[in-house]
Amino acid sequence: MVDRLERDVADVARKWVPDARLGVLEVTVEPERLVGCTTSRDALAALRRIAAAAGRAADIRLLPDASVRDEPAAVVTAALAPLLREPRITADRVSEALHGEPLALL
């Protein structure tokens, strides 16, 4: 059952967030629920349907978070800014942003 749920979550990710540089879909399958976050409203709805069909709870947040709604964007002020997978200096670099480029805050 868990393997099928993980495949279904991966299918939703491929359909609604095919490029990780442009959106977020980080959902894990736990014994009683699906947990994670996404930037896609369509993916959120699909994941909730999948969880309900499997008889599990869906604890999935929609990004951007309510705490950044007043200021949902930032502008790069460095010549070149690395974008890391996690908020750690040792995290993998997933992309780069150039000076003046706008970024969406999540």
Structure tokens at 53: 């069909």
Identify the pLDDT of residue 79. Answer: 93
Count CB neighbours of 43 within 10 A: 22
Element (H, E) at 7: helix 2-16
What's residue 33's pLDDT? 94
DSSP for residue 12: H
- For 30, the token pair is 């736990």
- What is the 3-state composition of the chain as percent helix, strand, coil, each rounded to the nearest 5? 30, 30, 40
Q: What pLDDT is attached to residue 93?
A: 92
Name residue 5's amino acid. L
The reported pLDDT for the residue numbered 51 is: 94
- Looking at residue 103, what is its pLDDT? 84
Domain coordinates of the chain in residue numbers?
Answer: 2-63, 67-104
Which regions of the chain are under pLDDT 50? none
- What's residue 99's pLDDT? 93
Supply the pLDDT for residue 34: 95
